[in-house]
């Protein structure tokens, strides 16, 4: 019997910790949670993450640093918008607007998260870039479980949980 390794159309369950190489800050981790399960080869993950764990077997650990192009992409300054403050009047009646606040705009193509970066009397500066855009990211990954995906998972393009029984 050949050993299973991470490859296309496998469901991989992994534990991971993501840190910013600049300052060591942890931005995301599966520690204390269930491992993350995903279908390999269907753009469920940022591209570099999958590429770096290809061929790994269960129990194997890998550490790698991705440039922003292989993670969440470059920042796009055109995605930083000045929005008239009066459009936030309804929200502002309930909560003070502050830099760093994360909100979701209902756009024609669906919900778009953004971060308020500046608040002035007249305008709100809203940054629609992913908070990790433009950043290099370091990951420590351990492969916890591997199995072949079911036909349903492959046609849906996502994993149905660690054991394949969570359809959705």
Minimum CB distance to Zn ion smaller for 102 or for 166: 166
Q: What is d(CA 167, CA 152) in angstroms, rounded to the nearest whole number?
A: 9
Least distance CB 149 / Zn ion (angstroms):
11
Minimum CB distance to Zn ion smaller for 11 or for 143: 11
Minimum CB distance to Zn ion smaller for 35 or for 161: 161
- Contact between 99 and 116 (Cβ < 8 Å): yes
At 151 the three-state DSSP class reads helix
Closest residue to Zn ion: CB criterion: 156
Minimum CB distance to Zn ion smaller for 15 or for 156: 156
- Contact between 144 and 11 (Cβ < 8 Å): no
Q: Which of residues 118-157 bind Zn ion (CB under 5 A)?
A: 156
Least distance CB 54 / Zn ion (angstroms):
23
Q: How many CB atoms lie within 10 A of CB 61?
A: 12
Least distance CB 92 / Zn ion (angstroms):
40
Instruction: Phi first, then psi: give them for residue 133, nearest 5 degrees.
Output: -65, 145
Residues near Zn ion (CB under 5 A) are 156
């Amino acid at each position: 019997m050949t050993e299973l390794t991470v490859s296309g159309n496998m469901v991989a369950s992994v534990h991971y910790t993501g840190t910013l190489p600049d300052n060591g800050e942890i931005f995301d981790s599966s520690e204390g949670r269930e491992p993350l399960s995903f279908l390999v080869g269907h753009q469920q993950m940022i591209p570099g993450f999958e590429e770096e764990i290809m061929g790994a077997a269960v129990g194997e650990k890998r550490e790698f640093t991705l440039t922003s192009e292989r993670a969440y992409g470059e920042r796009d300054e055109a995605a930083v918008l000045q929005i008239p403050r009066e459009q936030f009047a309804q929200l502002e009646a309930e909560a003070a607007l502050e830099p760093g606040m994360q909100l979701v705009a209902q756009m024609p193509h669906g919900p778009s998260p953004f971060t308020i970066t500046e608040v002035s009397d007249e305008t709100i500066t809203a940054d629609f870039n992913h908070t990790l855009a433009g950043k290099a990211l370091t990951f420590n990954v351990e492969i916890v479980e591997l199995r072949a995906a079911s036909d349903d998972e492959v046609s849906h393009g996502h994993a149905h949980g660690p054991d394949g029984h969570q359809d959705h």
